[in-house]
Chain A
Amino acid sequence: MTAQPLVLGIETSCDETGVGIVRGHTLLANAVASSVAEHARYGGVVPEVASRAHLEAMVPTVHRALADAEVALADIDAIAVTAGPGLAGALLVGVAAAKAYALAAGKPLYGVNHLAAHVAVDTLEHGALPEPAIALLVSGGHSSLLRVDSLADGIVPLGSTLDDAAGEAYDKVARVLGMGFPGGPAIDRAASEGSVTIAFPRGLTAARDLREHRFDFSFSGLKTAVARWVEARERAGEPVPLAEVSASFQEAVCDVLTAKAVDACRTSGITTLVIGGGVAANSRLRALAAERCARHGIDLRVPRPGLCTDNGAMVAALGSQLVAEGAAPGRLDLPTNSAMRVDVITV
């Protein structure tokens, strides 16, 4: 198989219908249809609403990607699709579509891991990933630290959140502050106007927690602390300083995420850190990671925000890596797995 495979990737694990096309490490198209507006009034993603939107958006999004990339389905070398983890019903729409396209066009099919794809997408921006690397994946659905020995077949989980995902904490705090859904961009904006004045807790950073949960995260205590702080202000009849609360909350999240990521690099002697997932678009996370990585001689790779959120290009990027490395394609009966383990890269 060619070293520069042309791969179409399909992503439907949450509320974005994504179809991307890559050639080797080159991004040709990244079409995304989002149902986020439909979920806003529920304060979170409603699985059935997301699945219905995927069905409607699937084929038009494939068309858009093919048109943007100026390629025909017949030109594609392989089709990759997110097989998990994610919302079960949403995953099924993308996987069924991918099977149909693969069957109709006679193309090999790869069912891939969404988390590995979040790491692989960086190759579209910064070229081949030095291996091993440490990856920090942070979004509304995941908060994970991984050691990536090989994108195609060697990802080892180091730690993950014990409760809320980082993005989930942003959503919940945004709700407390009356900022709406999704909370990340709103809090990031508000925080840019304030300074860090409140010492909110950093979960799992005390010495006794570090022994057992050195690379794990916990954000539910932080969320509760913010809620209590805000309630106390309101009870006292004082105004809630949104900018200060946002900045202080954001600092607590980004401090823990970057401190643990850098610690993972330093203890393993690995000098490349990749950050992916929707929260990687956060301005403070990017700045703090850059500062700390520079201090410790770590090469930081963070794709641009449009590639950090869920999209099809990341799936295509992983598919391209798999094809280039000669990985065996999946079969037409490949399953979806809403709780797919991160060390399982293809099904």
Chain B
Amino acid sequence: MLVLVLDSATPAVTAALGRVEPAAGDRPPTIDGNPWSATILARRATVDARAHGERLAPQIDAVLGEAGAKPGDLGAIVAGIGPGPFTGLRVGLVTATALGDALGIPTYPVCTLDAFAVGRPGRVLVATDARRREIYWACYADGVRLAGPEVSKPVEVAGRAAGLGARQAVGDGALRYADQLDLPVLAEPRFPQPAAMLSLAVRRVGTGAPGEPLIPLYLRRPDTTEPVARKRAAPQ
């Protein structure tokens, strides 16, 4: 089955086309032991926090084109639901939801932070940039989430991560605030990888589980103190 994988929860806007099949001789199971093989056939990513709205749809078109596939060939969509900066995150989620709706195929949410922990042994802190000098973070033991996702100041995360026994950190948020986290930070990956995202949903995709709504992990309430923009004088 062809699966579209999307994420827009970090400065990277990512689209990939994957294939999920039962594992067999030359198709190894996914790293976390599912009896399904997941392969990424094509991928595009642009690192530009302001380009999500413009780049995502052309990238979807490009990955389909590269594999010689049409939108109607897709069988499922896997989308990162964040946490992430709101505006970019919504671009990915409304795109995935509308595509799933138009094509009549299921959508499967994955936590964007979880993707960084796939196949990573030991205790790991995952952090992405939340702007306003904060990070979105979660802690994992052998790929299983122990704490998070939350949004906090890096110094607070350092304390929490130490308490949870984290030995290393990964993600662009961790790199950005490496000096405050007091942990060795992996240089890569900085952004969520489609293969890892697909593996997080491979069992749902493979078994044809019912699709789930893509509800964003905002983790912050809307800032209602910012200046009010347009106002209305119209009846509804």
B233 touches A333 (CB 8 A): no
Q: Say yes or no: B235 contacts A332, CB within 8 Å.
A: no
Of residues B61, B91, B93, B94, which shows the largest number of chain A Cβ atoms within 10 Å of its Cβ? B94
Q: Is B198 an interface residue (CB 8 A)?
A: no
Report the number of A-B residue pairs with Cβ-Cβ less than 8 Å: 180
Residues of A close to B234: CB separation below 8 A: 139-140, 167, 182, 184-185, 277-279, 281, 305, 308-310
Q: How far is the CB of B140 from chain A (nearest CB, A)?
A: 28
Cα A341 to Cα B59 with chains together (Å): 28
A100 touches B95 (CB 8 A): yes
Among B56, B58, B94, contact of A55 (Cβ-Cβ < 8 Å): B94
By a CB distance below 8 angstroms, the chain B residues around A48 are 86, 222-224, 226
CA distance A206 to B233 in the complex (A): 26
A254 nearest CB across to chain B (Å): 12
Q: Which residues of B contact A97 (CB under 8 A)?
A: 94-95, 97-98
The answer to the question of A58 belonging to the interface, with a C-beta cut-off of 8 Å to chain B, is yes
Smallest distance from the beta carbon of A52 to chain B beta carbons, Å? 7
Q: How far is the CA of A51 from the CA of B223 in the complex (A)?
A: 12
**Bound CA span A32–B202, Å:** 37
Q: Are A96 and B56 in contact (CB under 8 A)?
A: yes
CB of A35, distance to nearest CB on chain B (Å): 10
Contact with B along A300-337 (1 / 0, CB 8 A): 00000100111000000000000000000001111110
Q: Which of A166, A172, A184 contacts B235 (CB 8 A)?
A: A184
Select the stretch in B28-36, B99-107, B127-135 that faces chain A. B99-107
Nearest CB to that of A187 among chain B residues? B233
CB of A255 to closest CB in B, whole Å: 16
Say which one of A87-95, A119-127, A240-248 lies at the interface with B.
Answer: A87-95
Q: A104-B102, A168-B233, A182-B232 are in contact. Are A47 and B97 (CB under 8 A)?
A: no
Docked complex Cα distance between A184 and B233 (Å) = 4
**Are A305 and B99 in touch, CB under 8 angstroms?**
no
A100-B99 in contact given A48-B222, A89-B90 (Cβ < 8 Å)? yes
Tell me how far the C-beta of A32 lies from the nearest C-beta in chain B, rounded to whole angstroms. Answer: 8
Instruction: Give the residues in chain A near B232, CB-CB below 8 Å.
Output: 14-15, 36, 45, 139-141, 167, 171, 181-182, 184, 278
Query: Does residue B229 face the partner (Cβ distance < 8 Å to A)?
Result: yes
The residues in A between 18 and 73 inclusive whose CB is less than 8 angstroms from any CB of B are 34, 36, 42-49, 51-52, 54-55, 58-59, 62-63, 73
Q: Is the CB of B223 within 8 A of A185?
A: no
- B143 near A: Cβ within 8 Å? no
Interface size on B, residues (CB 8 A): 39
Question: Does the CB pair A46–B224 fall under 8 Å?
Answer: yes
Q: In the complex, what residues of A have CB within 8 A of residue B71's CB?
A: 103-104, 106
Q: Are A92 and B224 in contact (CB under 8 A)?
A: no
Does A105 sit within 8 A of B, measured CB to CB?
yes
Contact, CB under 8 Å: B53 / A92: yes
A333–B60 Cα distance when bound, in Å, is: 11
Known: A97-B98, A106-B71. A305 touches B235 (CB 8 A): yes
In the assembled complex, the Cα of A278 lies from the Cα of B87 at a distance in Å of 27
Query: What B residues does A63 contact at CB under 8 A?
Result: 101
Given A93-B94, A332-B57: A88 in contact with B87 (beta carbons within 8 A): yes
Min CB gap A347→B, angstroms: 11
| A95 pairs with B98, CB closer than 8 A | no
What are the residues of chain B within 8 A of A336 when measuring CB–CB? 53
- Tell me whether A332 and B222 are in contact (CB under 8 A): no
B98 near A332 (CB under 8 angstroms)?
no
- Find residues 32-60 in chain B having any chain A CB closer than 8 Å to their own CB: 52-58, 60
Q: How far is the CB of B5 from chain A (nearest CB, A)?
A: 15
Interface residues of B in 66-87 (CB under 8 A from A): 71, 86-87
Closest residue of chain A to B220 (Cβ to Cβ) is: A48
Closest-by-CB residue of A relative to B102 is: A104
| Interface check A5, CB cutoff 8 A | no
Q: Is the CB of B60 within 8 A of A103?
A: yes
Cβ of A100 and Cβ of B230 under 8 Å apart?
no
Q: A141, B228: Cβ atoms under 8 Å?
A: no
* A103 touching B99, Cβ below 8 Å: yes
**Distance in angstroms between the alpha carbons of A14 and B91 in the assembled complex:** 16
A215 within 8 A of B: no
A165 part of interface (Cβ distance < 8 Å)? yes
| Contact status B95-A96, CB under 8 Å | yes
Given A101-B102, A184-B235, A42–B228 Cβ distance below 8 Å? yes
Q: Which of B57, B229, B231 contacts A96 (CB 8 A)?
A: B57
Could you tell me if A140 and B56 are in contact, using CB atoms closer than 8 angstroms? Answer: no
Contacts of B53 in A (CB 8 A): 92, 95-96, 335-336
Given known contacts A54-B94, A87-B230, what 15 new A-B pairs fall within 8 Å (CB)?
A34-B236, A55-B94, A62-B101, A87-B229, A92-B87, A93-B94, A97-B95, A100-B57, A100-B97, A101-B98, A140-B232, A167-B231, A167-B232, A167-B234, A181-B231
List chain A positions with a Cβ less than 8 A from chain B.
Answer: 14-15, 34, 36, 42-49, 51-52, 54-55, 58-59, 62-63, 73, 86-89, 92-93, 95-97, 99-101, 103-106, 139-141, 165-172, 181-185, 277-279, 281-282, 305, 308-310, 331-336
Q: List 6 A-B contacts (CB under 8 A).
A: A92-B90, A93-B90, A97-B94, A140-B231, A165-B230, A309-B234
Which 3 A-B residue pairings sit nearest by Cβ, starting from the closest?
A278-B234, A167-B233, A184-B233
